[in-house]
C-alpha cells in the first residue's frame, strides 16, 4: 500500500466524492469530515514514511499513459512537495469541518473532495502533462465554488478567475510542449518527465523563451503584479471555504511550480531574470500592502495581504540559494496556514453579520474576546512576529535574497513595516474602540465548530514558529539538491557565481542520481 | 546552574500562560499573586545565577535548534554572563516590584487577568532578549517586547488614543527593526553565523566599511526600541498605557534594550569609533531635546517619559564613547529610580482619578506622605545628587565626555543635567506642594494601598544605594566589557567639576521649587509665557508629531487610496478587463458576419477565398524568390 | 488555326451565356442560357480530345440536370421577375474580379505547370473512351463505386425530399402541426 | 495563334469569376444553384485542359467525378428547396437566417 500511497492520496477523495452522491443529505457533513480525515491521516502517514535524509523523489510511481510521446503517469514527492500535500489535506479537513454553509452542502463537500484530488495531484505529479492536467482541473471545482456559493458578483469573479488563469496556463502548456520537443531533439525520444528534463542543459536563449512561457502561467497563478487583479475579486466573491482553499493551497501552485520547473530547468534564465522578477516582487510587496491599507472590506485586506506575502515568497525563490529557497518553500506553508486561518476568521464574522465592511464593526474585542484573541494571534503571525510560522519563512527569504542584492532586500524589507501598518490598522478598526453599532452588541463569541477549525491552525502557527525543524529539514535537503543541480547546469559565469556550489559540504544525492 | 537559568527564563512565561488561561474570566486575585510569585522565583534564580557568575563562571546552554537551513544554524541558545546577568537582575527586580504593585493598581480593572498575562509575557520576552546567545534570539525578544508593548499600551483598547499609540509604537519599532534585520543579514553573510562569540571573533577580519554598515544598521534597530530621534515620538504617546506598564516597559527595561544591544555588540562598535561618535552625539542631542520638551509639558507621565528619553540619551553617549560599562551602569541605576518615579506617579494618578495635569494637583503631600517621600527621593536620584544612584552613574557619563575631549557633548549633558533637575522638581513641587488646587475639581485623593508602597520600597532602597555597588559591578562586568577607566587628569579639575555640577543641579532644583511650590492657579493658556513662541514650540514637541502626521501618515493613506482606487482598479484591472473587452467587442462586432444571412456568408466566403489565394500567391512567389 | 478559332468562338459564347445566366432577372432566360453554356463547354472537351467527358457533359448537364431544374422550376413561381438585392453591387464585382485576377496570376505564372508530371500518360493509339475506362476501373475503382452510391443516395434523397407529402401545403400549416406531422409520420385524417 | 494551356486556364478563371459574381449577387436560391453550376463547370474546363496539356488522364477523372457530384447536388438541393418552398412559400436567401449566431 505504501508503494501506491500517492495514487491513493490522489484518487481516494475523488472516489469518495463519487460515492458521496448516494449519501443522504443529513449525513453528508459527517461523511465529508470522515473522508477528509482519512485522507489527512494518509498524508500524515506519508510524512511518517518519508525519509528526510533522502533529498530525491520518494514513493515514485510510474505507469505509461501514451508511451509514444513519453507521457507517463509519474508521481513522487520530495521535501518540497511533501508538506504542501499535507497542507492541502489538512486544509480540506479544516475547511469541511468548519463549514457553516447551509445551501447545497452536499454539492459543496463533493466539490471540495474533487478539489482535493486535483491539489494533491498537482503537487505529486512528476510528469508535465499529468501536472498540467491536474493544474487545469483544479480550476473547475474552484470555478464552481465561487460561481455557485459566491457573493453578488460571483459570475464575473469566477469567469475572471477562470479565464485569467486559464490563459496563463495555456502559454505554460506551449512551453511544456516546446520543452518536450527540445528533449526529443536532444535525445531522440519523447519525454514529459520532469526528472528527465532536469538532465537537459538548454542553450541560454532557449531558456529565456521557455522561462518566459512558464513564467506567465505561474505568475498569473501566484498572482504576481500586475496579474493579480483576479484575486481580490475571487476572494471578495468566494464563500469562506473557497477563499481559504484558494489562499492556502491554490496560490501555492504557482510558487511551487517556480521551484519545481523554472529553477532547475532554466538556471541561467533564472539568474538572468532574477532582478526583474525581484523588482516585480518588491512592487507586489509594497504596492499591494498599500492597497490593502486602503481597503474598507476586511476580506480584501486579507486578500491583498496574500499578494503581498506571495511577493516575499517569490523573492525568496529567486534568491537562488538554499536559505532563500528553503525559506520560500517554508513560507508557502506558513502563508497557507496564516492566510487560511485569517479567511476562516473573516468567515466567522461574516456568518454573524453578513457584512465584511470594517466600518460596520469596532469594539469587537469586548464582545468577542476569544475571537479577538485568535484573530490577534493570526494577525501577528501574518505580520511576521518571531516565534510564529511566518517569521521563519520571511526571515529566510529576505536573508537569502540579501546575498544577491543589498538594496533590493532593504526595499523588500519594508514589507515588515507596511505589513504591520495595514494589519494593525485593520485590527484596530475591527476590534478596538467601543461598540458603536448596535448590531454588534450581542454577537456570539466563537462557537465550538469554529474553534475546531481554528485551534489546530493556531497550534500549527506557533509550533512551527518555535520548532520548524521537522519541516525545514526535509525541505532543506531537497532544496540543496535543487540548488546543486542548478549550479551544475548553469552555463553563464554569472549564473555559476550567483548560484552557490554546495558539493563537498554535504552528502546529499543529487536529483539525477536519485532518479 | 542550567536549571536556574531555565527557571529564570521560563517562570514568567508560565505566569503569563497561567494568567492567559483566566483572561476571559473576571478578575481573580490569585492570578496576580501567582504571576508575581513566579516572577519572584525568576528573580531568585537570577540572583543565584548572579552569585555564580560573580565567582567567575558563565552559564551557556543550547536548548534546541530553531532554524537550520543551508549554512544557517540558529539555536535557542542562552548565555548568562556578566552583562546579561546584570540585565536579568534589573529586569527581574523591577518587574517583580511592578507585578506586586499592579495587583493593587489594577485592582478595579476588568482586564486584571489579561493585564498580568501581557505583563509576564513581556518579562519573558525581555529575558529572552537579554539572555540570548545570538542575534536571532535577541531579535525574538526584541520583537516580543514590541508585541507586549503594543498589547499593554493598547491595554485599554476602548480608548482611541490608546490603540492609536499602541499602533504607532509598534510601527515605529518595526521601522527600526528593519534596520536591525538588515544588520543581522549583513552579519550572517559576512561572518557565517549569528552567535555572539563567532561573530565577535570574526568581526575584526571584516573590511571596515562592512563593519560600519553593520554598526549603523544595528544602531537603527536600537534607535527604534530606545526611542531615539527621529523615532522618539512613540514613547511619549505610549504613556496611554497603564502606569505600571510605563514603569516597567517604557522606563526601566524595554526602552533600554537599544542600549543593551550597543553594549552587547561592543566588539563591533569598538572597531568603528566614527559610528560611536555619531551615537554619542545623537544621544547628547536627544538628552537635551527631550529635556527641553519636558520643561513645559503639562502631563505628568509625559514629563517622566521625556525624562526617560533624556536619560537614554545619556546612556547612548556613554555607549557611543566606548564606556560600555558606564552605560550599563546608568541603565541599571536609571531603571530603579525611574520605575520608582513612575510607580509614584501611578499612585498620584489613582488618587487623582486619572488626572494627569500637575497644575490641577498641588498640596498632595498631606494626604500621600509615602508617595511624596518616594517621588522626591527618586527625583533627587534622577537629578544626580550625592549620594544617590544618579550621582554615580550620571556624573560618570559627564566625566567620560570630558575625559574623551568631547567638550560639546559634555556641555550639552551638563546643561541637560540642570534641566533635568528643574523639570523633575517642577513636577514634584506642583504635585505635592502649594495650594490644593484639586479641590476645585472636586477630587478626594487618598493614599495607595500599603502593600503597594511596601512593594515599591526595594526600588527606593536601590535608588538610594545603587551607587555603592559601583565597584562590585565594575569588577564584574569588565571581564566582558572593555575596561576603560575615566580619570580626570588632575584632582583639582575633578573636584571643581563634581562640586560645580552639584551646585548647578541644586540651583536648578531650588529655582524650580521657588517658582512652582507656591503655584496657586491652573494655567488656561492665556498667560504671556504660554503664548510665547518657545513655549508653543516645546509644548507641541517641536511640531514633530504633527510633521510626521502631515508628511508620512496622511500622504501614505492618501497614496494607498490612490494605489487602490486609481492604479489598481483603474489601470491594472482596467487593462485586464480592457483586453477581455476588446476580445468581447470583437466577437460582438464580428457577430454580424454570423447573422445567418446566407448571401452575406457567401460574400465572406469569397473574401476568404481571395485572401487565401493571395496568400498562396505571396508564399509561392516568396518561396521561388528564396529558391532562386 | 482552326483550333484557335474554335476556342475563341466558344469562349465568347460560353462567357456570354453564363453572363446572361448570372445577370438576367428572368428565371427562364437564365436556365436557357445555362443549358446553352453547358453545351458550349462540351465543345471545349471535344477540342481537348476528351470525347468521353464531352459526351458525359452533354448527357448529364443538358439531359439530367437541366431537366431537374426545369421540373423544379415548375414548383416555383418563375414567371415574375427575380428581385435581387442591390446593396453593394460594386463589392460583388470587385471581389469577383479580384479572385479572378489572383487565380490568373497563379496560373499564368509558370510555377505550377512546370512541376507537374504525368502519372497516367495518355497512351497512343488508344481511344479516349477506352483509356478513360481503363483508368477509371483500375486506379479509380473505389471512388467510382462511391460516386455511384452517392448518386443513388442523391436520387433517393431527392425523391423522398421532394415527393414526401405532396398533397400537403406546408405553407399553410403552423409550426406545431408540422412538428406533429413529422412525429406521427402519417397524414392526419381530415387533412387538406 | 496557338492555343495554350494558359488560354484555357484564363477562360476557366473568367467563368469562375462569373460564377462567383452570381453566387454573391443572387438572392433567389434557384438562381444561386445556377451560379454554382457555373463554378463547377469552370473548374471542369481547367481540369480537362490540364489533362490534355500534361498528357495525364487524372484531370479528366476529376472532371468526371465533379460532374457526378454536381448531379447529386442538384438532386438533393432541389429536393430540399422544394421542401423549403412548401413550408415558407419563398425561396429567398435572406429569409434563411435561422442560423443567426
CA of B561, closest CA in chain C: separation in Å? Answer: 55
B24, B67, B163 ranked by CB distance to A468: nearest: B67
pLDDT of A397 strictly over 90: yes
Q: Which chains touch B (3 or more CB pairs under 8 A)?
A: A, C, D
Residues of B in contact with C95 (CB under 8 A): 603, 606-607, 610
Average pLDDT value for residue range B246-267: 89
Which A residues in the span 391-420 are in contact with B, Cβ-Cβ below 8 Å?
391-392, 395-396, 398-399, 402-403, 406, 409-410, 413-414, 416-417, 420
Average pLDDT value for residue range B171-195: 91
Chains D and A touch (3+ CB pairs under 8 A): no
pLDDT of A509 strictly over 70: no
**Contact: B174, A416; criterion CB under 8 Å:** yes
Dihedral angle, C-alpha A183, A184, A189, A192, nearest 10 °: 50
Cell of B172: 515605529
B-interface mutation test, from C88, C92, C93, C106, most B Cβ less than 10 A away: C106
pLDDT digit string, tens, across residues A33-73: 999 999 999 999 999 999 888 888 889 989 998 888 888 99
Residue C192's pLDDT is 42
Mean pLDDT for chain B? Answer: 87
Residue B220's pLDDT is 92
D50, D61, D75 ranked by CB distance to C154: nearest: D75
CA of A259, closest CA in chain B: separation in Å? Answer: 16
> In chain C, how many domains are there?
2
Average pLDDT value for residue range B401-419: 89
A165 interfaces chain B, CB cutoff of 8 Å? no
Q: Same domain, yes or no, for C46 and C102?
A: yes
Those residues of chain D whose CB sits closer than 8 Å to some CB in chain B are 20, 23-24, 26-27, 93-94, 96-101
Mean pLDDT for chain A? Answer: 89
SS3 per-residue string spanning B521-558: CCCCCCCHHHHCHHHHHHHCHHHHHHHHHHHHHHHHHH
Residue C118 placed within a domain: no
Which B residues in the span 597-616 are in contact with D, Cβ-Cβ below 8 Å?
597-599, 602-603, 606
Residue A514's pLDDT is 40
Residue C171 placed within a domain: yes
pLDDT of C84 strictly over 80: no
Residue B361's pLDDT is 82
Task: Express as a percent the part of chain C with pLDDT over 70.
Answer: 68
A444 interfaces chain B, CB cutoff of 8 Å? no
Cell of B399: 566625566
pLDDT tier, B468 (very low <50, low <70, confident <90, very high otherwise): confident
pLDDT of A290 strictly over 50: yes
* Domain interval for residue A478: 266-515
CATH code of domain D5-92: 1.10.287.3510
Task: Express as a percent the part of chain B with pLDDT over 90.
Answer: 24
Residue B486's pLDDT is 75
Interacting residues of C65 by C-beta distance below 8 A, sequence separation 6+? C38, D37, D70, D71, D74
Closest-CA residue in chain B for A393?
A: B67
Tell me how far CA of residue D64 lies from CA of B576, C56, C139, C175, D35, in angstroms: 56, 8, 14, 42, 19
Contacts of D14-17 with C-beta under 8 Å, sequence gap 24+, read: D14/C15, D14/C100, D15/C14, D15/C15, D15/C18, D15/D41, D15/D42, D15/D45, D16/C99, D16/C100, D16/C103, D16/D42, D16/D43, D17/C96, D17/C97, D17/C99, D17/C100
**Contact: B69, A387; criterion CB under 8 Å:** no
pLDDT tier, C186 (very low <50, low <70, confident <90, very high otherwise): very low
Element (H, E) at A278: helix A274-294
pLDDT digit string, tens, across residues B208-227: 999 999 999 999 999 988 88
pLDDT digit string, tens, across residues C6-63: 999 999 999 999 999 888 888 888 888 999 999 999 999 998 888 888 998 898 888 8
pLDDT tier, B401 (very low <50, low <70, confident <90, very high otherwise): confident
Residues of C in contact with B607 (CB under 8 A): 95
pLDDT of A87 strictly over 90: yes
Residues of B in contact with C92 (CB under 8 A): 603
pLDDT of C101 strictly over 90: no
Residue C135's pLDDT is 83
Residue A391's pLDDT is 92
A-interface mutation test, from B20, B67, B555, most A Cβ less than 10 A away: B67
pLDDT tier, A214 (very low <50, low <70, confident <90, very high otherwise): very high
D24, D26, D94 ranked by CB distance to B597: nearest: D94
pLDDT tier, C170 (very low <50, low <70, confident <90, very high otherwise): low
Residue D101's pLDDT is 55
**Contact: C150, D26; criterion CB under 8 Å:** no
Q: Same domain, yes or no, for C2 and C90?
A: yes
> In chain A, how many domains are there?
1
Q: Which chains touch D (3 or more CB pairs under 8 A)?
A: B, C
Residue B212's pLDDT is 93
In this complex, how many residue pairs, one in chain B and one in chain D, have their CB atoms less than 8 Å apart? 32
A164, A326, A414 ranked by CB distance to B69: nearest: A326
D94, D98, D101 ranked by CB distance to B594: nearest: D101
Residues of C in contact with B606 (CB under 8 A): 95-96, 99
pLDDT of A106 strictly over 50: yes
Element (H, E) at A7: helix A5-20
Strands B59-69, B72-80: pairing is: antiparallel
Higher pLDDT, A275 or B610: A275
3-class DSSP assignment, residue B64: strand
Q: Same domain, yes or no, for C106 and C164?
A: no
Residue C123 placed within a domain: no
* Domain interval for residue C162: 140-186
Higher pLDDT, A93 or B386: A93
Cell of B307: 525624562
**Contact: B594, D94; criterion CB under 8 Å:** no
D20, D23, D100 ranked by CB distance to B596: nearest: D100
pLDDT digit string, tens, across residues B147-161: 999 999 989 888 888
Closest-CA residue in chain B for A366?
A: B158
Which A residues in the span 81-120 are in contact with B, Cβ-Cβ below 8 Å?
none
**Cα angle B324, B44, B50; round to 5:** 35
pLDDT of C93 strictly over 50: yes
B603, B606, B620 ranked by CB distance to C111: nearest: B620
**Contact: B188, A399; criterion CB under 8 Å:** yes
- Distance, in Å, from the CA atom of A269 to the CA atom of A202, rounded to the nearest integer, reads 10
- Distance, in Å, from the CA atom of C118 to the CA atom of C121, rounded to the nearest integer, reads 5
Higher pLDDT, B490 or B4: B4
CA of C158, closest CA in chain D: separation in Å? Answer: 5
B-interface mutation test, from A231, A432, A473, A482, most B Cβ less than 10 A away: A432
Contact (Cβ atoms closer than 8 angstroms) between residue A421 and residue A293: yes
Element (H, E) at A185: helix A154-187
**Contact: B603, C98; criterion CB under 8 Å:** no
CATH of residue C56's domain is 1.20.120.1200
pLDDT of B355 strictly over 60: yes
Average pLDDT value for residue range A153-170: 89
**Contact: B591, D20; criterion CB under 8 Å:** no
Average pLDDT value for residue range B398-405: 85
Phi-psi region of B541 (alpha: psi -120 to 50; beta: other; left: phi over 0): left
Q: Which phi and psi (to 5°) does residue A126 adopt? A: -120, 5
Closest-CA residue in chain B for A230?
A: B573
DSSP one-letter string for A192-221: -BHHHHHT----HHHHHHHHHHHHHHHHHH
Going by C-alpha positions, the residue among A5, A17, A511 that lies closest to residue A265 is A511
A436 interfaces chain B, CB cutoff of 8 Å? no
Higher pLDDT, A290 or C164: A290
B595 interfaces chain D, CB cutoff of 8 Å? yes
Going by C-alpha positions, the residue among B362, B388, B333, B383 that lies closest to residue B510 is B383
Closest-CA residue in chain C for B603?
A: C92
Contact (Cβ atoms closer than 8 angstroms) between residue B131 and residue B85: no
Closest-CA residue in chain A for B566?
A: A291
3-class DSSP assignment, residue B451: helix
Average pLDDT value for residue range B76-82: 90
Q: Is cis: bond before B230, omega within 30 of 0?
A: yes
Closest-CA residue in chain C for B610?
A: C99
Residues of C in contact with D69 (CB under 8 A): 147, 150
Q: Residue A84: is it exposed, middle or buried by C-beta count within 10 angstroms (0-12/13-18/19+)?
A: buried
- Distance, in Å, from the CA atom of A115 to the CA atom of A138, rounded to the nearest integer, reads 6
Residue A251 placed within a domain: no
Q: Same domain, yes or no, for C99 and C146?
A: no
- Distance, in Å, from the CA atom of D44 to the CA atom of D64, rounded to the nearest integer, reads 8
pLDDT of A511 strictly over 50: no
Element (H, E) at B60: strand B59-69
Residues of B in contact with C115 (CB under 8 A): none
Residue A360's pLDDT is 86
Higher pLDDT, A509 or A340: A340
CA-derived radius of gyration, chain B: 31
3-class DSSP assignment, residue D92: strand
B594, B598, B603 ranked by CB distance to D96: nearest: B598
Residue D99's pLDDT is 62
pTM, whole model, 2 decimals? 0.82
Q: Same domain, yes or no, for C25 and C68?
A: yes
Average pLDDT value for residue range B131-140: 91
Q: Which phi and psi (to 5°) does residue D90 adopt? A: -135, 155
Which A residues in the span 210-229 are in contact with B, Cβ-Cβ below 8 Å?
225-229
Q: Same domain, yes or no, for C19 and C102?
A: yes
Higher pLDDT, A403 or B435: A403
Residue C130's pLDDT is 82
Going by C-alpha positions, the residue among B224, B78, B202, B85 that lies closest to residue B138 is B78
pLDDT digit string, tens, across residues D48-61: 888 888 888 888 88
CB atoms within 10 A of CB A79: 26
Tell me how far CA of residue C114 lies from CA of A247, B66, D5, in angstroms: 66, 81, 12
Residue B213's pLDDT is 92
Chains C and D touch (3+ CB pairs under 8 A): yes
Residue A68 placed within a domain: no
pLDDT tier, B204 (very low <50, low <70, confident <90, very high otherwise): confident
- Distance, in Å, from the CA atom of B264 to the CA atom of B89, rounded to the nearest integer, reads 16
Residue A485 placed within a domain: yes
Q: Same domain, yes or no, for C24 and C87?
A: yes
Q: Same domain, yes or no, for C88 and C172?
A: no
Amino acid at each position: 500500500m505504501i508503494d501506491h500511497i500517492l495514487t491513493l492520496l490522489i484518487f481516494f477523495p475523488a472516489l469518495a466524492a463519487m460515492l458521496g452522491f448516494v449519501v443522504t443529505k443529513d449525513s453528508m457533513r459527517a461523511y465529508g469530515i470522515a473522508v477528509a480525515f482519512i485522507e489527512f491521516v494518509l498524508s500524515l502517514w506519508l510524512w511518517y514514511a518519508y525519509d528526510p535524509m533522502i533529498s530525491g523523489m520518494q514513493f515514485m510511481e510510474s505507469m505509461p499513459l501514451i508511451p509514444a510521446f513519453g507521457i507517463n503517469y509519474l508521481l513522487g514527492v520530495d521535501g518540497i512537495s511533501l508538506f504542501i500535500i499535507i497542507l492541502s489535506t489538512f486544509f480540506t479537513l479544516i475547511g469541511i469541518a468548519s463549514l457553516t454553509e447551509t445551501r447545497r452542502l452536499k454539492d459543496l463537500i463533493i466539490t471540495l473532495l474533487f478539489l482535493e484530488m486535483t491539489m494533491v495531484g498537482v503537487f505529486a505529479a512528476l510528469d508535465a502533462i499529468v501536472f498540467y492536467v491536474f493544474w487545469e482541473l483544479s480550476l473547475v471545482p474552484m470555478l464552481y465554488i465561487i460561481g455557485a456559493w459566491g457573493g453578488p458578483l460571483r459570475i464575473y469573479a469566477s469567469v475572471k478567475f477562470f479565464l485569467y488563469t486559464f490563459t496563463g496556463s495555456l502559454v505554460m502548456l506551449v512551453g511544456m510542449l516546446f520543452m518536450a520537443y527540445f528533449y526529443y531533439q536532444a535525445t531522440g525520444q519523447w519525454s514529459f518527465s520532469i526528472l528527465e528534463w532536469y538532465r537537459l542543459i538548454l542553450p541560454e536563449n532557449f531558456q529565456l523563451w521557455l522561462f518566459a512561457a512558464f513564467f506567465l502561467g505561474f505568475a498569473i497563478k501566484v498572482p504576481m503584479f500586475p496579474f493579480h487583479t483576479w484575486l481580490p475579486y475571487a476572494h471578495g466573491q468566494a464563500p469562506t471555504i473557497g477563499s481559504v482553499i484558494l489562499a492556502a493551497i491554490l496560490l501555492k501552485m504557482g510558487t511551487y511550480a517556480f521551484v519545481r520547473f523554472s529553477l532547475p530547468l532554466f538556471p541561467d534564465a533564472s539568474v538572468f531574470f532574477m532582478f526583474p522578477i525581484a523588482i516585480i516582487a518588491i512592487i507586489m510587496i509594497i504596492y499591494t500592502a498599500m492597497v490593502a491599507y486602503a481597503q474598507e472590506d476586511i476580506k480584501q485586506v486579507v486578500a491583498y495581504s496574500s499578494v503581498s506575502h506571495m511577493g516575499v515568497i517569490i523573492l525568496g525563490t529567486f534568491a537562488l540559494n538554499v536559505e532563500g529557497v528553503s525559506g520560500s518553500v517554508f513560507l508557502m506553508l506558513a502563508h497557507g496556514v496564516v492566510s487560511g486561518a485569517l479567511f476562516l476568521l473573516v468567515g466567522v464574522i461574516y456568518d454573524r453579520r453578513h457584512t465584511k465592511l470594517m466600518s460596520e464593526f469596532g469594539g469587537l474585542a469586548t464582545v468577542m474576546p476569544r475571537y479577538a484573541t485568535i484573530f490577534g494571534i493570526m494577525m501577528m503571525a501574518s505580520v511576521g512576529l518571531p516565534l510564529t510560522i511566518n517569521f521563519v519563512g520571511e526571515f529566510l527569504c529576505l536573508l537569502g535574497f540579501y546575498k544577491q542584492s543589498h538594496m533590493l532586500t532593504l526595499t523588500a524589507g519594508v514589507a515588515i513595516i507596511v505589513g504591520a501598518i495595514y494589519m494593525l490598522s485593520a485590527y484596530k478598526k475591527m476590534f478596538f474602540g467601543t461598540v458603536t453599532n448596535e448590531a454588534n452588541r450581542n454577537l456570539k463569541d466563537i462557537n465550538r465548530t469554529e474553534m475546531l477549525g481554528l485551534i489546530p491552525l493556531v497550534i500549527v502557527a506557533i509550533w512551527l514558529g518555535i520548532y520548524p525543524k521537522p519541516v525545514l529539514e526535509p525541505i532543506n535537503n531537497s532544496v540543496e539538491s535543487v540548488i546543486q543541480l542548478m549550479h551544475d547546469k548553469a552555463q553563464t559565469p554569472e549564473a555559476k557565481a550567483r548560484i552557490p556550489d554546495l558539493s563537498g559540504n554535504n552528502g546529499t544525492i543529487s536529483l539525477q542520481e536519485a532518479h | 546552574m542550567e536549571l536556574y537559568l531555565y527557571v529564570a527564563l521560563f517562570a514568567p512565561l508560565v505566569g503569563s500562560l497561567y494568567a492567559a488561561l483566566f483572561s476571559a474570566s473576571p478578575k481573580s486575585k490569585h492570578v496576580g499573586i501567582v504571576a508575581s510569585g513566579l516572577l519572584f522565583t525568576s528573580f531568585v534564580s537570577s540572583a543565584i545565577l548572579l552569585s555564580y557568575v560573580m565567582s567567575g563562571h558563565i552559564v551557556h546552554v543550547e536548548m534546541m535548534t530553531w532554524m537550520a537551513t543551508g549554512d544557517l544554524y540558529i539555536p535557542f541558545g542562552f548565555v548568562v554572563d556578566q552583562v546579561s546577568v546584570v540585565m536579568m537582575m534589573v529586569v527581574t527586580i523591577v518587574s517583580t516590584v511592578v507585578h506586586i504593585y499592579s495587583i493593587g493598581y489594577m485592582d478595579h480593572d476588568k482586564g486584571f487577568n489579561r493585564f498580568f498575562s501581557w505583563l509576564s509575557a513581556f518579562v519573558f520576552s525581555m529575558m529572552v532578549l537579554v539572555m540570548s546567545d545570538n542575534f536571532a534570539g535577541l531579535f525574538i525578544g526584541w520583537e516580543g517586547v514590541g508585541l507586549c508593548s503594543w498589547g499593554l499600551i493598547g491595554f485599554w483598547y476602548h480608548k482611541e488614543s490608546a490603540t492609536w499609540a499602541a499602533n504607532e509604537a509598534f510601527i515605529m519599532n518595526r521601522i527600526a527593526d528593519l534596520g536591525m534585520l538588515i544588520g543581522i543579514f549583513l552579519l550572517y553573510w559576512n561572518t557565517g553565523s549569528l552567535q555572539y562569540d563567532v561573530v565577535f571573533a570574526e568581526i575584526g577580519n571584516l573590511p571596515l566599511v562592512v563593519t560600519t554598515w553593520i554598526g549603523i544598521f544595528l544602531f537603527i534597530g536600537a534607535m527604534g526600541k530606545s526611542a531615539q530621534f527621529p523615532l522618539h515620538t512613540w514613547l511619549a504617546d505610549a504613556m496611554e498605557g497603564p502606569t505600571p506598564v510605563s514603569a516597567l516597559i517604557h522606563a526601566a527595561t524595554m526602552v533600554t534594550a537599544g542600549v543593551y544591544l550597543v553594549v552587547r555588540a561592543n566588539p563591533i562598535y569598538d572597531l568603528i569609533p566614527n559610528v560611536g561618535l555619531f551615537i554619542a552625539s545623537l544621544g547628547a542631542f536627544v538628552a537635551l531635546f527631550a529635556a527641553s520638551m519636558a520643561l513645559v509639558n503639562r502631563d505628568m507621565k509625559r514629563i517622566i517619559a521625556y525624562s526617560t528619553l533624556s536619560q537614554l540619551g545619556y546612556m547612548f553617549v556613554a555607549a557611543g564613547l566606548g564606556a560600555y560599562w558606564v552605560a550599563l551602569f546608568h541603565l541599571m541605576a536609571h531603571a530603579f529610580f525611574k520605575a520608582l518615579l513612575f510607580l509614584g506617579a501611578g499612585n498620584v494618578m489613582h488618587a487623582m482619578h486619572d488626572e494627569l495635569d500637575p497644575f490641577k494637583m498641588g498640596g498632595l503631600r498631606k494626604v500621600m506622605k509615602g508617595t511624596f517621600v518616594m517621588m522626591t527621593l527618586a527625583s533627587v536620584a534622577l537629578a544626580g545628587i550625592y549620594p544617590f544612584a544618579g550621582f554615580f552613574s550620571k556624573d560618570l557619563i559627564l566625566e567620560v565626555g570630558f575625559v574623551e575631549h568631547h567638550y560639546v557633548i559634555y556641555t550639552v549633558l551638563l546643561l541637560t543635567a540642570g534641566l533635568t533637575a528643574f523639570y523633575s522638581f517642577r513636577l514634584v513641587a506642583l504635585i505635592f506642594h502649594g495650594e490644593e488646587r484639586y479641590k476645585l475639581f472636586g477630587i478626594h485623593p487618598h493614599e495607595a494601598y500599603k502593600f503597594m508602597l511596601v512593594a515599591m520600597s526595594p526600588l527606593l532602597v536601590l535608588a538610594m544605594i545603587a551607587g555603592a555597588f559601583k565597584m562590585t559591578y565594575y569588577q564584574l562586568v569588565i571581564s566582558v566589557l572593555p575596561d576603560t577607566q575615566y580619570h580626570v587628569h588632575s584632582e583639582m579639575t575633578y573636584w571643581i567639576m563634581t562640586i560645580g555640577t552639584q551646585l548647578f543641579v541644586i540651583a536648578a532644583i531650588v529655582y524650580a521649587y521657588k517658582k512652582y511650590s507656591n503655584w496657586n492657579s491652573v494655567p488656561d493658556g492665556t498667560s504671556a509665557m504660554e503664548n510665547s513662541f518657545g513655549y508653543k514650540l516645546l509644548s507641541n514637541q517641536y511640531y514633530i508629531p504633527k510633521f510626521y502626521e502631515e508628511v508620512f501618515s496622511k500622504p501614505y493613506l492618501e497614496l494607498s487610496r490612490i494605489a487602490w482606487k486609481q492604479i489598481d482598479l483603474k489601470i491594472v484591472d482596467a487593462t485586464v478587463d480592457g483586453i477581455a473587452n476588446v476580445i468581447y467587442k470583437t466577437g460582438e462586432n464580428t457577430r454580424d458576419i454570423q447573422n445567418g444571412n446566407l448571401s452575406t456568408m457567401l460574400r465572406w466566403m469569397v473574401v476568404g477565398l481571395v485572401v487565401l489565394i493571395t496568400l498562396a500567391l505571396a508564399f509561392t512567389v516568396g518561396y521561388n524568390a528564396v529558391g532562386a | 488555326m482552326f483550333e484557335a478559332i474554335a476556342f475563341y468562338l466558344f469562349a465568347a459564347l460560353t462567357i456570354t451565356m453564363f453572363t446572361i445566366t448570372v445577370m438576367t432577372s428572368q428565371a427562364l432566360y437564365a436556365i436557357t442560357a445555362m443549358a446553352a453554356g453547358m453545351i458550349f463547354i462540351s465543345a471545349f472537351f471535344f477540342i481537348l480530345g476528351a470525347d468521353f467527358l464531352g459526351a458525359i457533359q452533354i448527357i448529364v448537364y443538358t439531359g439530367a440536370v437541366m431537366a431537374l431544374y426545369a421540373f423544379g422550376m415548375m414548383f416555383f413561381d418563375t414567371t415574375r421577375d427575380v428581385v435581387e438585392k442591390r446593396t453593394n453591387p460594386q463589392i460583388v464585382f470587385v471581389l469577383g474580379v479580384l479572385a479572378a485576377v489572383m487565380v490568373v496570376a497563379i496560373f499564368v505564372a509558370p510555377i505550377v505547370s512546370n512541376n507537374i508530371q504525368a502519372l497516367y500518360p495518355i497512351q497512343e493509339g488508344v481511344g479516349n473512351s477506352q483509356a478513360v475506362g481503363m483508368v477509371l476501373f483500375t486506379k479509380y475503382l473505389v471512388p467510382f463505386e462511391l460516386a455511384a452510391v452517392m448518386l443513388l443516395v442523391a436520387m433517393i434523397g431527392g425523391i423522398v425530399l421532394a415527393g414526401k407529402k405532396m398533397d400537403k401545403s406546408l405553407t399553410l400549416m403552423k409550426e406545431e402541426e408540422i412538428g406533429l406531422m413529422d412525429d406521427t409520420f402519417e397524414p392526419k385524417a381530415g387533412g387538406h | 495563334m496557338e492555343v495554350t494551356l494558359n488560354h484555357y486556364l484564363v477562360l476557366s478563371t473568367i467563368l469562375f469569376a462569373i460564377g462567383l459574381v452570381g453566387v454573391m449577387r443572387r438572392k433567389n436560391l434557384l438562381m444561386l444553384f445556377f451560379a454554382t453550376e457555373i463554378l463547377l463547370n469552370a473548374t471542369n474546363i481547367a481540369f480537362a485542359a490540364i489533362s490534355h496539356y500534361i498528357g495525364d488522364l487524372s484531370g479528366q477523372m476529376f472532371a468526371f467525378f465533379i460532374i457526378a457530384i454536381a448531379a447529386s447536388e442538384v438532386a438533393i438541393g432541389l429536393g430540399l428547396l422544394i421542401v423549403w418552398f412548401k413550408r415558407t412559400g419563398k425561396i429567398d436567401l435572406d429569409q434563411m437566417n435561422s442560423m443567426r449566431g
